[in-house]
Each structure stands twice: as C-alpha cells, then as structure tokens.
A and B are shown apart, each in its own frame.
Chain A
C-alpha cells in the first residue's frame, strides 16, 4: 500500500513535470542569473539596483514574438508561479515588458528572496522554463 502510494505520488510528479511549461522553446543552454546583488548580500539601503544577466537567449519586449527571446520577471519574496500560464503581475511578480535589463527596487528592512523568470511574448515561461537561482538578500 505504501509503495503504491509512493508510486502514484511519483507518477503525479513526473506527469506534472512534463505538463508544466509554455509553448515557446528555450535555448538548451540558456542561462539566467541575477548579476547583482549576489546571494547572501547585505544591502545597507532600502532602494537598490538589480541587474539581470542572460546568456544564449535575447531580450524582446512583451508582445514581440521572436524565437529564443523573452522578457524578464523579477519574483520578490515568492515561490515560482505555475510554469504553464501567464506570470502574475503584482508586487511579488514584477514584469519588465519594455525589454529592461536592470531595475531599481525598494524593499523594507529584513530578509528577502529574489528570483528571475523569463517569460515569452505572452508572459508565459518557456519550455523548459528559464529561471535564475533564487537568492536571499538582507536589507539593513
């Protein structure tokens, strides 16, 4: 019984994994990262710049359908959203649909997480999804 339960759970995971992605293909070796701040950075002001690093794929504004391009989304203090639908747009999911490659954000003092997720012309993640490492920063 236990084994059956585990098997079902695993199958659900595998099937779920296969389904969760958008329609736009990503470059196989695409690399998305937060250039600054670094993971673990202690930042001594509430307002700071974040720059977005990307290799092997290009930036295009939202609405522009071009293979191997997308636009940046910065996820602040939140887990990754579903990978097969439009990335939400709220204070935890900031869209850079004008093709920006850096931003300035204001965060209250404390510990915060930041993660980048590339979205296609429709704000849906690629297949496979292109995301950065989730980093933690402390704002003092």
Chain B
C-alpha cells in the first residue's frame, strides 16, 4: 500500500514535469542570464537598466515564428509561472515583446528577486524552458 502511494506520488511528480513545456524547441546549450545586476547587487535609488544576456539563441519580437528565437520576460518578486502556458502579463511578469535586450526597472526600497524567462512568439516558454537563475537585489531606504 505504502509502495503504491510512493509510486503514485513519483508519477504525479514526473508527469507534470514532462508536460510542462511549450511547443517551441530550444537548443541544449541555450542560456539566459543577467549581465547586470549580479546576484546580491545593491541598487541605490531602485532605478536601473537590467541587461538581459542570451547565448545560443536569438531575440525576435513577440508574434514572430522563427526557430531558436524568443523574447525576454522579467519576473519581479515572483516565482516561475507554469511552463506550458502563456506567461502572465502583470507587474510581476514584464514582457519585452518588442525585442528589447534590456529593461528599465524602478524598485521600491527593500529586497527584491529578479528572474528572466525566455518565451516563444506566443509568450509560452520553450521546450526545454530557458530561464535564468533567480537573483536577489537590494534597494536601500533613502
């Protein structure tokens, strides 16, 4: 009985993992990362240009269907969304559908997390999904 529960749990853990990806393939060596800021950076005043790094894939505006391209999404103070659907567009999920490779952010004082998630022409993450490490930045009180 116990064993069945374990197997069922394992299967449940595996199946969403297998399903959770969009239709657009990404190359094995694709990498998205923060050029700036680095993990642990203190941003005085909270205003910054965040520079998006991308290797072995290209940028294309939203709506453009081109293999091994996509556009950046910046997740601010949020967790990764589901990988098999469109990335939400709200203040925690900023879309750069015009093909931008950097984004201006204004963060209030406090501790914030930033993470990049690349997605295809339909704003759905690639298969496998291409996302950066989640970094933490600090904005000191004025």
Q: Shortest Cβ distance from B45 into chain A, in angstroms?
A: 18
Q: How many residues of B contact A (CB 8 A)?
A: 22
Binary contact readout B89-126 vs A (1 if CB under 8 angstroms, 0 otherwise): 00000001011111000000000000000000000000
Q: Does B54 sit at the interface, judged by CB under 8 A?
A: yes
Q: List B contacts of A55 (CB < 8 A).
A: 49, 100, 102
A52 to B54, CA, bound (A): 10
Does B140 belong to the interface (CB within 8 Å)? Answer: no
Contacting pair A61 B69 (CB below 8 A): yes
Residues of chain A contacted by B101 (CB below 8 angstroms): 52-54, 58-59, 101
Interface segment among B7-15, B16-24, B57-65, B79-87: the answer is: B57-65
A98 touching B58 in the complex, CB below 8 Å, given contacts A52-B101, A54-B101: yes
Residues from chain A with Cβ under 8 Å of B60 in the complex: 59-61, 64, 99
The digit string for A38-61, where 1 denotes a CB below 8 A from any CB of B, is 000000000000011111001111
Nearest CB to that of A70 among chain B residues? B99
Whether A99 pairs with B69 at a CB distance below 8 angstroms is yes
Decide if A102 is an interface residue (CB 8 Å cutoff).
yes
A53 and B99 contact, CB distance less than 8 A: no
Q: Please give, as numbers and ranges, the residues of chain A lying within 8 Å of B131 by CB-CB distance.
A: none
Chain B neighbourhood of A68, CB < 8 A: 98
Contact across chains for B59 and A101 when beta carbons are under 8 A apart = yes
Bound Cα distance A35, B98 (Å): 20
**C-beta contact mask, A86-100 vs B, less than 8 Å → 1, else 0?**
000000000010111
Most-contacted residue by chain B among A55, A58, A66 (CB, 10 A): A58
Q: List, in ascending order, chain B residues with CB within 8 A of A102's CB.
A: 53-55
How many Å lie between the Cα of A43 and that of B65 in the bound state?
38
Tell which of A64, A69, A101 touches B54, judged by Cβ atoms closer than 8 Å.
Answer: A101
For the complex, what is the distance from the CA of A58 to the CA of B54, rounded to whole Å? Answer: 14
**Nearest Cβ in chain B — how far from A125, in angstroms?**
17
Is A51 a contact partner of B35 (Cβ separation < 8 A)?
yes
B residues neighboring A (CB under 8 Å): 35, 49, 51-55, 57-61, 64, 66, 68-69, 96, 98-102
23 A-B pairs with C-beta separation under 8 A: A52-B101, A53-B51, A53-B101, A55-B49, A55-B100, A58-B59, A58-B99, A58-B101, A59-B60, A60-B64, A61-B66, A64-B61, A64-B64, A66-B64, A69-B61, A96-B58, A98-B68, A98-B69, A99-B58, A101-B52, A101-B54, A101-B58, A102-B55
Q: A residues within 8 Å of B by Cβ? A: 35, 51-55, 58-61, 64, 66, 68-69, 96, 98-102
Assuming A54-B101, A98-B69, A99-B57, what are 8 further A-B pairs, CB within 8 angstroms? A64-B60, A66-B99, A68-B98, A69-B61, A100-B59, A101-B59, A102-B53, A102-B55
